[in-house]
Amino acid sequence: MDKLTRIAWREYYATVRTKAFILSVVLLPAIVVAGVYGTQYAEKLASSEKVPDRTLAVVDHTGRLYEPLAAIVDAWNQNKPNQRFLLEQVPAEPDDTAALRQRVNQGEIYAYIILPADVIAGEGQVEIARRDKQLDAGRRMETFINGAVSMVRFQDLEIDPVKVAAARREVTILEVDPATAQARKSNIVARLLTPFAFMFLLFMGTFGISQGLLTSLIEEKSNRVIEVLLSAVSPMQLMVGKILGNAAVGATLLIVWGSVGYYGAQRFHVPELVGTQQLVLALMYFLPGFLFMAALLAGVGSMCNELKDAQGMMFPVSIITIIPMIFWFYLAQYPQSAVSIALSYVPPITPLVMILRICADPDTPLWQIVTTLALLWVCVLGMFWAAAKVFRLGVLMYGKAPTLPEIIRAVRMS
């Protein structure tokens, strides 16, 4: 037991001291924090920044849209004096689009807008020409035009646009927690992204760290370092020690990243998105999920002399592991569907699918959590049994890498 502990500690200590690990611990939270605060600061800066007046040349073939368009633009300019748009009415006849295009290219005007005669009926297509591709300005011009067209349509129907705007005013929806009776504003985007964030963290902690185990094992084998290690410990002690050490590395990453996420949820007053239940279950699924993948990779790594051989063997498993990444949106929206439940019982991806479902639906049945965890631990025991046999046979083998059928045959014979 003392040797096993020393191997695990050596693997953990050697990994957490590397620059790559330190960067991975610090960089992801830093990127998230910088992204959140940076986006807020950029939006605030953009809204207050002084932008040169942008002149829009308008060709109104309807003869009815220029005035409501000017009224909407004036209201915008009063609200946003640093980001003004100026309108210039251009006669519809004669049609001189080439001259307008030249004025845009020379920077004399920001853009020109051509409103066809049948645009109010919804049949014509509005033409906008400008040199830059700034998204906010483009969306703003579209909003101006749609607002003007709506005003004219309301007038034709003898409907007061002010009353329509009042009738279409959105209501504030509060989501009430039935357990605590606490009410908060609904945030659909956050509720969709939180399950993905948990799944991504579990993916990085499980597959990212276990890949490091595979790489280090192949390097030690190719450098003959493993022969020295096996003179002091048994193959089983070496394999289990390496797996436990790397599991501790993954758990460290998960705890640090989860703590940052928990702090962020508290900071932005959405504690229900990242709660203690999710963090505890993430660790509960991480441990067997990591042990399963680590044992698989340890067995594969012991039989290979080069990383490319191991990657070739692991390709089918890699394809399976990205299934939750591809279908995360469906799984987050329909966590209790038959497909979601079925994928929860596929061992390589069980932790990813279950943590996604639990974060999307906190009322995931307890029996599904218990049975999937039990399935994972049974698969871990089976994988350790097979990996131990493969590791003992292959750790000192050199030469051509065996094929998957050869590995299976060796396990059965042993």
17 occurs within a structural domain: no
In terms of domains, do 361 and 254 share one? yes
In terms of domains, do 88 and 142 share one? yes
Q: CB–CB of 51/82 below 8 Å?
A: yes
Q: Letter for the amino acid at 59? A: V
In terms of domains, do 223 and 337 share one? yes
Q: How far apart are the first and last CA of the chain?
A: 25
In terms of domains, do 112 and 235 share one? no
Q: CB–CB of 103/112 below 8 Å?
A: yes
State pTM to two decimals: 0.66
Can you name the residues that pair with 184 across neighbouring β-strands?
175
In terms of domains, do 364 and 332 share one? yes
291 occurs within a structural domain: yes
CA 90 → CA 63, 105, 366, distances in Å? Answer: 11, 17, 68
Q: What is the DSSP letter of 396?
A: T
Domains identified in the chain, total number: 2
Q: pLDDT truncated to tens, each residue of the chain (414 aa)?
A: 678 888 888 888 888 888 878 887 777 777 767 766 676 676 666 666 678 889 899 999 888 899 999 999 999 989 888 888 999 888 877 777 888 888 888 888 999 999 988 888 888 888 888 888 777 888 889 999 999 998 888 888 888 877 777 877 877 767 676 666 665 565 566 666 777 777 887 787 777 777 777 777 777 777 777 777 777 777 778 888 888 888 888 888 888 887 777 777 666 666 556 667 777 888 888 888 888 888 888 877 777 777 777 777 777 777 888 888 888 888 888 888 999 999 999 888 898 899 888 888 878 899 999 999 999 999 999 888 888 777 777 665 665 666 667 667 766 665
In terms of domains, do 284 and 210 share one? yes
In terms of domains, do 202 and 350 share one? yes
43 occurs within a structural domain: no
Residue 12 is encoded by which pair of tokens? 């953990």
56 occurs within a structural domain: yes
- Return the SS3 of 100: helix
In terms of domains, do 209 and 334 share one? yes
315 occurs within a structural domain: yes
What is the maximum alpha-carbon separation in the chain? 94
Residue 62, domain CATH = 3.40.190.10
- Phi and psi (nearest 5°) for 57? -85, 120
In terms of domains, do 208 and 329 share one? yes
Of 167, 195, 215, the position where a domain reaches its end is 167
Helix axes 2-16, 235-267, angle to 10 degrees: 50
92 occurs within a structural domain: yes
In terms of domains, do 233 and 277 share one? yes
Range of the structural domain that residue 222 is part of: 187-413
In terms of domains, do 248 and 355 share one? yes
Rounded Cα distance, 350 and 239, in Å: 24
42 occurs within a structural domain: no
Q: What is the DSSP letter of 54?
A: E
Residue 189 is encoded by which pair of tokens? 């985007």
Q: CB–CB of 394/303 below 8 Å?
A: yes
In terms of domains, do 156 and 199 share one? no
Place of tokens 């949820």: 265
* Cα–chain center distance at 162: 41
